């Protein structure tokens, strides 16, 4: 829940930044008030994950990420898609799912970037070149348009560094957040360098960062779990450059302290016992 509310505040900030004519009225403080609620008739647990302005519909996940619900503003289920487990349209695992241009799209660990149509039919596939794998799931959109290319969360390539969890995360903290694919040639490259102002760059282990990327126009925002700040990137010649780090004052915030990389297991155990939420 903390990450959801933090994400909403980031979106509000981003919206303000993209309205230059309203900058003189820009407020530095925000609040979220519950003004209404919607009941959804669904047997089982689900959670909201995205919204499409093109469809004016919300996307919700249910049944262990195998079913996706399309909800209107009144909470009515206007459509649903259950991912196929067999056949040519089978999807093995979902790294990220969300709307791209109003279509349900998925970053899949084997098939790459997928766009689904009615009843979960695979309408379009952008294959990610080379051998790659993902260490964990992500939040946000499965991919973004970056001029004529497609940007998505960077997978790992090659052998894992070292043997322990600490060595693996140390490598993750040193690499860019996104990978960019040229859909015509299959060439790929990295962009959005890991921000040097993040606590994940202080030389200690802080767990999996759970990066979340939000894009609006040519402004890209990045934030991590267990941090009360976010990072503004701008497009420059097809690359994403860090422009600003925005720190947020959160009263009585609880943040886990980092540990040496060789004490990674100790950190994970303390997080589980303390209940500090990412």
Flag the least confident range among 69-73, 183-187, 250-254.
250-254
- Strand bridging mode 139-140 / 212-216: parallel
Q: What pLDDT sits at residue 160?
A: 82
Range among 40-44, 230-234, 254-258, 274-278 rated most confident: 230-234
Domain boundaries along the sequence of the chain = 44-127, 132-278
The 3-state secondary structure of 100-164, one letter per residue: ECCEEEEEECCCEEEEECHHHCEEEEECCCCCCECCCCCEECCCEEECCEEEEECCECCCCCCCC
**Is residue 86 pLDDT above 50, yes or no?**
yes
Say whether 38 sits in a helix, a strand or coil. coil
Confidence check: pLDDT of 276 > 70? no
Q: Enumerate long-range contacts of 232-236, CB under 8 Å, 24 or more apart.
A: 232/17, 233/192, 235/146, 235/147
The mean pLDDT value for 178-185 works out to 97
Instruction: Tell me the average pLDDT across 204-227.
Output: 94
CB 220 within 8 A of CB 231: no
pTM: 0.85
Mean pLDDT of 190-216: 96
Taken in order 25, 246, 234, 214, is the CA torsion positive or negative?
negative
Specify the DSSP element, H or E, that contains 3: helix 2-17
Give me the mean pLDDT over the 201-210 stretch: 95
**Whether pLDDT at 182 is above 90:** yes
Q: How far apart are alpha carbons 56 and 114 in whole angstroms?
A: 21
Higher pLDDT, 272 or 267: 267
User: Is 144 exposed, middle or buried (CB count within 10 Å of its CB: 0-12, 13-18, 19+)?
Assistant: middle
């Amino acid at each position: 829940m903390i990450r959801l509310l933090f994400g909403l505040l980031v979106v509000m900030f981003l919206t303000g930044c993209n309205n230059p004519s309203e900058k003189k009225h820009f407020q530095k403080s925000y609040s979220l008030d519950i003004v209404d609620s919607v009941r959804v008739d669904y047997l089982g647990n689900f959670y909201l994950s995205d919204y499409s302005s093109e469809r004016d519909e919300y996307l919700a996940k249910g049944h262990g990420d195998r079913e996706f619900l399309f909800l209107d503003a009144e909470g009515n289920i206007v459509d649903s898609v259950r991912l196929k487990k067999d056949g040519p349209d089978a999807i093995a695992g979902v790294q990220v799912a969300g709307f791209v241009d109003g279509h349900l799209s998925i970053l899949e660990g084997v098939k790459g970037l997928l766009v689904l149509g009615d009843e979960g039919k695979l309408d379009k596939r952008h294959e990610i070149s080379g051998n790659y794998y993902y260490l964990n799931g992500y939040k946000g959109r499965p991919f973004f348009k970056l001029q004529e290319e497609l940007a998505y969360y960077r997978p790992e390539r090659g052998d894992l560094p070292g043997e322990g969890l600490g060595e693996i995360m140390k490598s993750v903290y040193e690499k860019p957040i996104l990978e960019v694919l040229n859909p015509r040639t299959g060439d790929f490259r990295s962009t959005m360098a890991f921000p040097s102002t993040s606590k994940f760059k202080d030389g200690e282990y802080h767990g999996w960062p759970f990066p979340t990327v939000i894009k609006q126009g040519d402004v890209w925002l990045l934030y991590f779990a267990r941090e009360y700040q976010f990072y503004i990137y701008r497009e420059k010649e097809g690359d994403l450059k860090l422009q600003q780090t925005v720190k947020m004052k959160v009263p009585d915030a609880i943040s886990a302290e980092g540990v040496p990389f060789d004490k990674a297991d100790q950190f994970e155990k303390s997080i589980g016992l303390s209940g500090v939420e990412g």
